Chains A and B, each alone.
Chain A
Amino acid sequence: MNFDFSDELKQLRDLARRFLAEHSSPSVVRSVLEGRDTYAADLWRAMAEMGWLGAAIPEQYGGAGLGYEGLCVLAEEIGRALAPVPFASSAYLASEAILLAGSETQKGRLLPMFADGSTIGCFALAEGSGNPHSGAVHARCVGGRLTGSKWPVTDGSIADLAVVVARDEAGEIALYVADLTASNVSRRSLSTVDPSRDHARIDFAGADVERLSGEAGWPMVLRLLERAAVLMAFEQVGGADASLEMARNYALERYAFGRPIGSFQAIKHKLADVYVATELARSNAFYGAWALSADAAELSLAAATARVSAIEAFHLASKENIQTHGGIGFTWDTDCHLYYRRSKQLALTLGSAPWWKDRLVQLLEMRNAG
């Protein structure tokens, strides 16, 4: 049994944790939250230089070739530090879409730009309310020109390129690469529950786009969501862990009724439950990491399971962190709300919990039938 990351990846994790503690400190997160920056550009450049953006991109396309386990390790630390950068959009979604659905030429041209950070990618699927559904995709590409509205698109106003889910002339779902700075594309930043991450509405009014010429169709979109769900589960586990640590530290230093509040069972048992949820989520994320990096048949179910656990754990950890802090936890200046906001941001992109739970049971039914 070797169900753990290698020593090399643990070293990478430690290095990432130290680096992010310094370069993605709460004040960096707040500069985006409070609108002084749209994302942490210095941090982004440093991450590119360290090869993180292309961690899972093969070396032939300019990546670091660390593999998916490497990307998972980085994702956990990025989640822990609430890094206000378009990492998930660019590395888990846009780059992955091109790896999965792009032609050799498209991979050779686009991936090096994502890997070196010179180009920021995003993924445009949603068209307003509702969870991922092929019937909800109305954007359409006719003669290489895309028309439709996508919102919310995470990192949509800071990205250079978007991978857009739309219908082709025949009405089939396909993936398109759109230059967001081109004409006939208009963008507006959206205010959201988590302003530490950028979100936009993007309107395409006959914009020139390029179709990813490999595999297409709704199953491809689902594959992309699954793979991203595993990586995002690591971000969520990192965030849950950080929330728990913050609550635990406060419970030790805050005194009430003549004793540390962490000596009251009301607090101890609450935090024990947070620990349990976080460990279950971590273990399920590990299994997702294995399935992703082995490209195993179990990936679909593993991803749904990891996502369901991770959403629950981060939500619980971030809300109970506020509760443990009491009134001070409800103030703007205390960092509790940064985790609480991010937990919901991560829970709502890629499809929310009810959708993934339904999908998990679908996959169980398929497995039992097969």
Chain B
Amino acid sequence: MDFNDTPEEAKFRAEARAFLAANAEPKGRARPVLRGGLDVEAVKRCKSWQAKKADAGFAGITWPKRFGGREASAIFHVIYLQEEDNYAVPRGLFEIGLGMCIPTMMAYADGEQLDRYVRPALRGEEVWCQLFSEPAGGSDLAALRTRAERDGDDWIINGQKIWTSGAHLSDFGIIVVRTDPNVPKHEGLTFFFLDMKSPGIEIRPIHQMSGASHFNEVFFTDVRVPDAQRLGAVGQGWKVSLTTLMNERLAVGEVHRPDVEDLVELARSLVVDGASAIRNAAVRERIAEWYARTQGLTFTRFRTMTALSRGQTPGPENSIHKLVNASKLQDIASYGLDLMGAAGLVMDDDLALYYAMFQQALLSSPSGRIAGGSDEILRNIIAERVLGLPADIRVDKNKPFNQVPTGPR
């Protein structure tokens, strides 16, 4: 048992380190980089970083060489991300496109389309988004209602998508729509890619409870999409969606702040009843529990890396990371504020402790437990696909979609 790279991995890690040291700023621990919405300048920074990364061979590490990739195994991708996490590089614009959209294209688009779209995406010249969730289809994605109807060589799309990250910054999108409401829900779906500048698309930002706007609603009114942009057969959209969702992001150990180390710092600095809060037995117990959970995830990730390094494919057990992290973040934020007492309410820059990091996390952390598979869906995945328990009973499974009961709205 050891934590060492193989010689090949060590060589790659050294290359990645050299590239990052020469091209990026190390990330300090002092002030966390908070994820805001991306403004014009931030988009420019993301694009120029992505081009630099792609030209140096650190984007698309697992992709075919034909598209500018390295054809390396997933462990090298994880190693690069580990190293990159030590640097304050611009992030947040390409994760979905390169992690989900383009891999789906690679599985279903034709050679000519791949030649046209993959390289510009890899170099960050074109941005992609994923149009899946709808007001009527979140965790139950296959209940989506956006319609597409055939019109000659085109399809005409009407309806609404929601929770689309980066829709307003995107050039292209992948979308799953209903093409036949007379068959059961999974059988009536079809998958396309489309130009986000197509006439009839309207994008509205969603004002989140945290005050920020990371997501959008996207409305489709008679949007025309050529049949040539269909991915998979008509009625096979569910199967194609599963390809997209299978590209589950590998856990790379991105640190969410405040973490348990921040809580230790906070507890050391706060005086409660004349003594440092960290002397309090109840506080110590909570810190120990979160520390143990944090370490448990770190070493679970090391076990996954070991499997990857041996050429195995990570499976549904990877759901554990987001399930544990999202709640932990919410709980640490809330507990940190408890320690501050009434002052925990205050978010003014000049008064709030630690740049109001705990307050901001209190308000943004609920999304972590919902986005990208809710806690409940992740528990279902673990129960069904890891423990082998039966799937939920689905009363709508064999009914034509247009006869499935819906709520009053």
List A residues at the B interface (Cβ < 8 Å). Answer: 1-6, 69, 244, 248, 251-252, 259-260, 262-263, 265, 267-269, 271-273, 275-276, 279-281, 283-284, 286-287, 289-290, 293-294, 304-305, 308-309, 312, 354, 356-358, 360-361, 364-365, 368
Q: How far does the alpha carbon of A69 sit from the alpha carbon of B2 in the complex, in Å?
A: 12
CB distance from A257 to the nearest CB of B (A): 10
> Is the contact region of chain B dominated by helix, strand, or loop, or is it mixed?
helix
Contact residues of B between 296 and 327, Cβ < 8 Å to A: 296-300, 302-303, 305-307, 309, 317, 320, 323-324
18 additional A-B pairs beyond A3-B299, A260-B389, beta carbons within 8 Å, are A262-B389, A263-B391, A263-B393, A269-B376, A269-B383, A271-B389, A272-B379, A275-B382, A276-B323, A280-B300, A283-B297, A287-B299, A304-B288, A312-B292, A354-B285, A356-B288, A357-B288, A361-B278
Q: Which residues of A sit under 8 angstroms from B291, Cβ to Cβ?
A: 305, 360-361, 364
Per-residue CB proximity of B359-403 to A under 8 Å, as 1/0? 000000000000000001011101110111111110000000000
Of A3, A269, A271, A283, which is within 8 A of B3 by CB?
A: A3
CB distance from B312 to the nearest CB of A (A): 11
Q: How far does the alpha carbon of A309 sit from the alpha carbon of B295 in the complex, in Å?
A: 10
Tally of chain B residues near chain A (CB < 8 A): 49
**Is B287 on the interface with A (CB-CB < 8 A)?**
yes
**Is B255 on the interface with A (CB-CB < 8 A)?**
no
Q: A69-B1, A280-B293 are in contact. Are A248 and B305 (CB under 8 A)?
A: no
A-B contact count (CB 8 A): 161
- A276, A279, A293, A365 — most chain B CB neighbours (10 Å): A276
User: Are A284's CB and B295's CB within 8 A?
Assistant: yes
Q: How far does the alpha carbon of A293 sit from the alpha carbon of B3 in the complex, in Å?
A: 13
**Is B281 on the interface with A (CB-CB < 8 A)?**
yes
**Is B201 on the interface with A (CB-CB < 8 A)?**
no
List B residues at the A interface (Cβ < 8 Å). Answer: 1-5, 9, 75, 264, 278, 281, 284-285, 287-289, 291-293, 295-300, 302-303, 305-307, 309, 317, 320, 323-324, 376, 378-380, 382-384, 386-393
Q: How far does the alpha carbon of A83 sit from the alpha carbon of B206 in the complex, in Å?
A: 58
User: Are A248's CB and B389's CB within 8 A?
Assistant: yes
CB distance from B4 to the nearest CB of A (A): 7
| 27 pairs, CB–CB < 8 Å, chain A vs chain B | A1-B5, A1-B9, A1-B75, A2-B2, A2-B4, A4-B306, A252-B388, A252-B389, A262-B383, A265-B380, A268-B383, A268-B387, A269-B383, A275-B382, A279-B300, A280-B296, A280-B324, A284-B299, A286-B299, A287-B295, A293-B1, A308-B289, A356-B288, A360-B291, A361-B287, A361-B288, A364-B264
Q: Chain A residue with minimal CB distance to B309?
A: A1
Q: Top 4 nearest A-B pairs by Cβ distance?
A: A280-B296, A268-B383, A357-B288, A283-B299
CB distance from B389 to the nearest CB of A (A): 4
Q: How far does the alpha carbon of A357 sit from the alpha carbon of B288 in the complex, in Å?
A: 5
User: Are B1's CB and A2's CB within 8 A?
Assistant: yes
Q: Chain B residue with minimal CB distance to A284?
A: B296
Q: How far does the alpha carbon of A361 sit from the alpha carbon of B279 in the complex, in Å?
A: 10
Q: Which residues of A sit under 8 angstroms from B5, Cβ to Cβ?
A: 1
Q: Which residues of B sit under 8 angstroms from A2, Cβ to Cβ?
A: 1-4, 306, 309
User: Are A4's CB and B324's CB within 8 A?
Assistant: no
Q: Which residues of A sit under 8 angstroms from B75, Cβ to Cβ?
A: 1
CB distance from B319 to the nearest CB of A (A): 9
CB distance from A116 to the nearest CB of B (A): 28
CB distance from B370 to the nearest CB of A (A): 16
User: Are B382's CB and A272's CB within 8 A?
Assistant: yes
Q: How far does the alpha carbon of A269 sit from the alpha carbon of B223 in the complex, in Å?
A: 41
Q: Which residues of B sit under 8 angstroms from A358, Cβ to Cβ?
A: 281, 284-285, 288
Q: Chain A residue with minimal CB distance to B293?
A: A280
Q: Which residues of A sit under 8 angstroms from B281, Cβ to Cβ?
A: 354, 358
CB distance from A272 to the nearest CB of B (A): 4
CB distance from B82 to the nearest CB of A (A): 10
Q: Which residues of A sit under 8 angstroms from B293, Cβ to Cβ?
A: 280, 309
Q: Chain A residue with minimal CB distance to B307?
A: A4
User: Are A1's CB and B296's CB within 8 A?
Assistant: no
Q: Which residues of A sit under 8 angstroms from B382, Cβ to Cβ?
A: 272, 275-276
User: Are B305's CB and A3's CB within 8 A?
Assistant: yes
Q: Chain B residue with minimal CB distance to A354?
A: B285
Of B295, B389, B392, which is within 8 A of A251 by CB?
A: B389
Q: Chain B residue with minimal CB distance to A247?
A: B387
